[in-house]
Amino acid sequence: MLAEWQYIGIFVALSPIFPLAPVVLNRLLGPHRPNPIKQQTYECGIETVGDTWIQFKVQYYIYALVFVVFDIEAVFLFPIAAAFGQLDLFAIGAAVLFIFLLTDGLVYAWSRGVLEWV
Amino acid sequence: MDILDLLKSLLSLSLGDFIRRNFGTGPGTELLIDIGGVVILSTFCLLIVIFLIWLTRKIVARMQDRIGPNRVGGRYGLLQTVADVMKLLSKEVINPAGADWVAFNAAPLLIVMAALLMWAVMPFAPGVIGVNLNIGIFYILAISSASVMIILLAGWGSNNKYALLGAFRAVAQMVSYEVPMILALLVPIILASTMSTEGIIAAQTLPFILFAPVSALIFFISSLAETGRTPFDLLEAESEIVAGFHIEYSGMKFGMFFLAEFLNTLFMSGLVVTLYLGGYRFFGLENWVSADGYPYGRLIGLIAFFAKTFLLYFIYDWVRGTLPRVRVDQILNFNWKFLVPLSLALVFFVAIVDKLIPTGTNVVVRMTIHLLLNILIAAVALELLRRRGRQNRLAMSAGGGSGGVEAVAGHGGGHDDHGHDGPQPIEDVPDVLDTPLGVREPVAVPAH
Amino acid sequence: MSQQIIFFILAAITLTSAVVVVTIRNLFHAALALMVSFLGVAGIYVLLEAPFLGMAQLLVYIGAISILIIFAIMMTRRLMQTNESPFNSQAVGALVGAALALVILFVVIIRLYPMAPGDGVGQSAMAVDPAILQSSVARMGRSFVSAEAYVLPFEVASVLLLAALVGSIVIAWPRRGEEDNQ
């Protein structure tokens, strides 16, 4: 078990090297002459107005919330799908009920107009 | 240590066995093999992107009636990307004023790390796989969901409104399309009763695309959105928000985002092949072992895998060269009001029907039942879409006016009527053609 | 041995970034540190031979909860420019609380793992049958939905998720009719 994950561990440890090498090489090969105008925020020629980190709409938050629920559902459903061959009809019924309850949530969100991008 | 042995091992892609034969099988050898495997896999991934970029440019150019790269490296421009890499390497790296140093610099590294790490469970040929995790598919999902966060990091760190806007769109889109992707992935897992990538290939005596064409289509569409390719390339929409989340990146830091995008597309092609097209399977030839014990069949498997993968990659490029961008509201409506309900229904019925088929049934019979179920579901879904489209058109023509403007205003006005679906451009081509909405024009909606 | 070294590295990463979360002023950086902490926990899960939990940690906490946290930060604009100290001034209470938590942890660990001589904690962990670990995910899936095991809690979890979804919409989404003057 852990022998398998040893590969992933080595991969995680080594993988930063591959993107880091070209970036560092770029820094060494390329010129480096910063000046304030060059470093200005890029905005199609006009100067940027106000703060970038402004307040965003609640819509994004709702999408993220709906997603969290479905994500957690996935965590439950994947082991069940992996055990599918060993399950009896009752177990499938339970899993299907689980999916059905979640569909209910989606229907509610839909009926409240949450999924409407405004 | 025998040169012939080494050559044969190389040709049969069993270098690990060669090392084990000659250096014993201690934990040190395994560590060495693992490190070698990581280095080979990563280097391969980085190098193939150079080829992929050339390939995409050539394919898309031909589709747009251009020639594409044709100067550097012979008349086919084979060395064009190498020249581009050289150019990127000699560019100045600009750190924009007010950028968040940690986020700005970490994002390009992390996004490539995530793109590389997913390849660890990709089966290239029998036994030629980074590591055959028993939760392989779940591992892929986990890593790819982390890359959403990395894009948010890049967008936030740049201190640029376009970048942040692009990042937010990217997150809303990727997060939304992850739901149908997860649900579609459940179908091959149910059919194979395992999450390991090699196990899924082993279960495909008949390719799963015959069992689950609808699931394959849903997965394909949502993988387009996950990798941010046209028609879902809103996150970088050149004509609206210039380049999206990586607008402020220059030189190789930009190159890293580019690399990750191409690597992810190839990975998605490979994943579709693994899940639905039988992966490296090629009429059993991939398991051929020669008389002296070298599994030369692996080479056949590798060729079969890459032939299928590049076919899929060509389809991704085909989509890229053909379809224009859709609007942000259309993207999200299409996902939440069509793909998610469809994939929920699909998992629902596939689970029940597959359990009702008695075990030991002939695989062809099982396949036929699944195929009929899929056709039925697709027919019902398309019929519902057609009715909805007709209703929309009637409502639109009753309201008078030239549709397009109306529709945009309708979406912008926060109306209560949630029955107003965005048109579904992909599934329903004939309807799109006579829709007065002007679906195909990428109309910029001021969403914020 | 190497497992212990990796464990200590992961624990150090997790704890350091957790401390950074509560001490740093920049809210966005605090969220980033929280993610590093989550990653460390995922690594520890994998080390404990529960890779599914580790990946679930990655999927749910990095892929979903962190995004939710960032979005929440984005929506509370004024918090971004705060210069207040992240600490409140209840040092005594904090000390008492920490001491109590330590005592509880100590008791729990001692009760769970009685350290008889010659019976190290590491050895009992080694005794698990590798075949069970290999198929642990499928076993988990089976026990979610089998009548003898956890089918009721499983369905209750589904209802809980449904309630969470509906509740969050009710709280965050403006009611009908109020949408114009939000």
Q: Give the residue from B325, B350, B374 where a domain finishes.
A: B325
pLDDT digits (tens, 9 = 90+) for B82-110: 888 888 888 888 887 777 888 888 889 99
3-state DSSP: chain A helix, strand, coil percent, rounded to 5?
65, 0, 35
Q: Domain extents for chain A?
A: 2-111
Per-residue pLDDT band for B23 (boundaries 50, 70, 90) equals confident
**Cα angle at A90 between A87 and A95, to 5 degrees?**
75
DSSP letter at A47 equals P
Whether pLDDT at B413 is above 70: no
**Of B87, B88, B108, the residue nearest B99 (C-alpha):** B108
**Cα(B75)–Cα(B58) distance, integer angstroms:** 12
C155 touches chain A (CB under 8 A): yes
Domain boundary among B270, B297, B325: B325
Token digits for B175? Answer: 């997060």
| Residue-level length of chain B | 448
Tell me the per-residue pLDDT of B338-397, one tens digit each, with 9 for 90 and over.
889 899 999 989 988 888 888 777 888 888 888 999 999 999 989 988 998 898 888 888
Read off the pLDDT of residues B48-77 as tens digits, 9 standing for 90 and up: 998 898 998 888 888 888 888 888 877 888
How much is the pLDDT for C38?
93
* Nearest Cα to Cα of residue A57 among B164, B351, B260, C167: B164
Side chain identity at residue B72, one-letter code:
V
Which of these ranges, B36-50, B117-131, B242-256, has the smallest mean pLDDT? B242-256
- Domain membership flag for residue B165: yes
ipTM rounded to 2 decimals: 0.89
- Across the interface, whether the CB atoms of A11 and B116 are under 8 A apart is answered yes
- pLDDT tens digits for A40-86? 776 665 666 666 556 566 777 788 888 888 888 888 999 998 888 88
Q: Is B323 on the interface with A (CB under 8 A)?
A: no
Query: Residue B385: in which H helix or E strand, if any?
Result: helix B363-399
Give just the sign of the alpha carbon dihedral A78, A84, A88, A93: positive
Q: CB pairs under 8 A, 24+ apart, for B280-289?
A: B280/B123, B280/B124, B280/B125, B280/B126, B280/B201, B280/B304, B280/B305, B281/B201, B281/B204, B281/B207, B286/B125, B286/B126, B287/B126
Cα-to-chain-centroid distance, residue C43: 12
Q: Could you tell me the residue range of the domain that residue B126 belongs to?
A: 92-325
Q: Is residue B445 part of a domain?
A: yes
DSSP string for B11-41: HTT-HHHHHHHHH-SSHHHHHHHHHHHHHHH
Q: What are phi and psi of C60, to 5 degrees?
A: -85, -45
CA distances from B46 to B39, B177, C6 (A): 11, 27, 28
The answer, for A78 touching chain B at a CB cutoff of 8 Å, is yes
Tell me which chain A residues have a C-beta less than 8 angstroms from the C-beta of C52.
79
Question: Residue B426: is its pLDDT beyond 50?
Answer: no
Residues B233 and B317 in one domain: yes
For C68, half-sphere exposure in the C-beta direction (CA atoms, 13 angstrom radius) is: 16
Report CB contact under 8 Å: B137, A83.
no
CA triple B172-B173-B177, angle to 5 deg: 120
Lowest mean pLDDT segment, chosen from B25-34, B282-291, C126-135: C126-135
Kindly report the nearest CA distance between residue B295 and chain C, in angstroms. Answer: 26
pLDDT digits (tens, 9 = 90+) for B195-224: 889 989 988 888 899 888 999 999 999 998
Alpha-carbon Rg for chain A in angstroms: 25
In-domain check, residue B26: no
**Contact residues, chain C, for A52 at CB < 8 Å:** none
Put simply, whether B161 touches C (Cβ < 8 Å) is no
Cis peptide before B324 (omega within 30 of 0): no
Domain ranges of chain C: 1-82, 129-175
For chain B positions 188-227, those within 8 Å of chain C (CB to CB) are: 194-195
DSSP 3-state of B174? helix
- Alpha carbon distance, N-terminus to C-terminus of chain B: 67
Determine the residue of chain C that is closest to B141 in CA distance.
Answer: C59
C3: chain B residues, CB-CB within 8 Å = none
Residues B317 and B365 in one domain: no
The confidence band for B176, taking pLDDT boundaries of 50, 70 and 90, is confident
Show the CA angle centred on residue B113, arms to residues B108 and B118, nearest 5°. 135
Name the amino acid, one letter, at B240.
E
Between CA B283 and CA B314 the distance in angstroms is 23
- Tell which residue, B348, B342, B397, B350, has the closest CA to residue B370: B350
B285 and B368 assigned to the same domain: no
Q: Is pLDDT above 80 for B242? A: no
Do B293 and B146 share a domain, yes or no?
A: yes
**CATH match of A2-111 with 1.20.58.1610:** yes
Is some CB atom of chain C closer than 8 A to the CB atom of A108? yes
Q: Decide if A62 and C144 are in contact by the 8 Å CB cutoff.
A: no
CATH T-level fold of C1-82: Four Helix Bundle (Hemerythrin (Met), subunit A) (1.20.120)
Determine whether the interchain pair A6/B97 forms a contact, defined as Cβ–Cβ distance below 8 Å.
no
Residue B420, domain member (yes or no): yes
Report d(CA B193, CA B183) in Å as an integer.
Answer: 15
Instruction: Name the token pair of B23.
Output: 């250096």
Listed residue (B141, B428, C51, B61) closest to A7, CA to CA: C51
Q: Which range has the top average pLDDT, B119-128, B150-159, C74-83?
A: B119-128
Short-list B314, B229, B324, CA closest to B59: B314
Distance to chain B for A56, nearest Cα, Å: 8
Domain count for chain B: 2
This model's pTM is above 0.90: no
Distances (CA, A) of B34 to B8, C42, C131: 21, 21, 23
Q: At a CB cut-off of 8 Å and minimum separation 6, what does C159 contact? A: A101
* A30 secondary structure, DSSP code: S
C151 CB within 8 Å of a chain A CB: yes
Q: Which residues in chain C land under pLDDT 70? A: 76-88, 113-130, 175-182
Q: Is residue B232 part of a domain?
A: yes
Q: How many CB atoms lie within 10 A of CB A85?
A: 15
Q: Is the dihedral of CA A71, A72, A77, A79 positive or negative?
A: positive
B187 is written with which tokens? 């179908």
Residue of A nearest to C64 (CA): A68
CB atoms within 10 A of CB A115: 21
Query: Of B292, B325, B358, at which residue does a domain stop?
Result: B325
Which of A86, A92, A98 comes nearest C138 by C-beta? A86
> Which A-chain residues 57-76 have CB contacts (< 8 A) with chain C?
58, 60-62, 64-69, 71-76
Query: Are C179 and B414 within 8 A, CB to CB?
Result: yes
Q: What's the pLDDT at B435? A: 42
